[in-house]
Amino acid sequence: MQHVSLGRTGLKVSRLCLGTMNFGPLTDEEASFAIMDRALEHGINFFDTANVYGWSAGKGATERILGRWLAKRGGRREKIVLATKVYGKMDDWPNHGRLSAYHIRQACDESLLRLGTDRIDLYQMHHIDRATPWEEIWQAMDQLIRAGKVLYVGSSNFAGWQIAQANGVAERRHLLGLVSEQSLYNLAERTIELEVLPACRALGLGVLPWSPLHGGALAGILEKTDQGRRAGEMVAKRIEERREPIEKYESFCKELGERPADVALAWLLARPGVTSPIIGPRTMEQLDGAVRAVELELGAETMETLDRIWPGPGGEAPEAYAW
C-alpha cells in the first residue's frame, strides 16, 4: 500500500481510506472487525466514520463498533489515522446539530466516548453551516486542538469558495485551517473539477472522494443484474438515467481485462490532487478487490477513452464555461 501526505501536512495516509458507513446497518460487528483487521494487513491506515453513521442500527452505532474494535487489541489506535465528522443532528434538541460552538464541543466529546479514544486525528465538518460564522467555528475547533482532542480539521461537501473563505479566516487567526475536503467525486460525477479541486490544490488540501463507485453503478452493475442480482432502488435509477455510458464503460473494461470497480478507483487515484478515495466495503471480497486498484496504472489512451465515455465539465472554471 502506498502512503502520501494528507494535503500540506506531514501526516501520511494510505492511498485508500476505509469508509465505515456500512458497519452496523449492513455489515454486522463480527464482519466489520474482520474487514478492519484485513485493512490493516493491506497497509490501510486511514479510517473514516461520522457521528451520525449507524442509520437503522441507531446514530452513533458505527463509532461504537470502531471503538470496540480499537479496544479489542492493543496498538491498533496508534496504527491508524482516525477521522470522524460533526454536523448531523443526533436527536431533536435544537442545539444538537450543525456547527455552533456549543454543538461542536458536545459532539466531539460524545464521539470520543463512543470511539473509546482520547483524540480525533481528523475532525471533519460534514456540511457547510451557513448560519454559524467562521469566527465561532474556528474558535471552537481551536479550543479542541489546544485541549489535544483534535489534531487536524477537514471539511466535507464544501464549495470551492467556502473552502477559501474558511481558510482565509483561519489564517487571520493564525490557525492551520482546513487540511482536507471530502467530496462526491467519481467518473460519473465530476462537478468538483470546476472549482473544488483547483481550490484544494491551491490551498494545500487533500481530496477524499466519497462514493468512488457511484453507489455501485461503476462496479459492473449491468453484468451483475444480468446474472440475476437485483439492483437497489437508487442504483436502478442511475442505470435508467445513464444506461448508455454504463454499457460503454463495462464493455471497455472488458476490453482492458479489468474489473469496472478497479478501473473507477484507479482513475480517481490518477486524478491530480486526489489523496485517498473512500471505499465502503460491505464484505471482505470487496475490500480485497479495492486494493488491486492501487497497483493498476491506466495509460494516457485509456484515460482519454474514459473521458469520452464519462465527460467532465470541460476543465476548471472559468475556462470550462468562458474564455
User: Which residues does the annotation mark as catalytic?
Assistant: 53
Cα(111)–Cα(320) distance, integer angstroms: 41
Backbone angles phi, psi at 191, to 5 degrees: -55, -35
Handedness of CA 21, 115, 78, 76 (dihedral sign): negative
Residue with the three cell numbers 482520547? 118
Cα(19)–Cα(49) distance, integer angstroms: 6
CA separation (Å) from 224 to 211, 216, 219, 247? 19, 10, 9, 12
Residue type, 15: R
Instruction: Calculate the CA 166 to chain-centre distance.
Output: 20
Backbone angles phi, psi at 83, to 5 degrees: -120, 135
Residue with the three cell numbers 467518473? 187
Residue type, 273: G
Contact 243, 218 (CB under 8 A): no
Q: Quick one: which of 245, 310, 302 has its CA closest to 270?
A: 302
Cα(30)–Cα(45) distance, integer angstroms: 20
Contact 98, 65 (CB under 8 A): no
Residue 225 parent element (H or E): helix 221-226
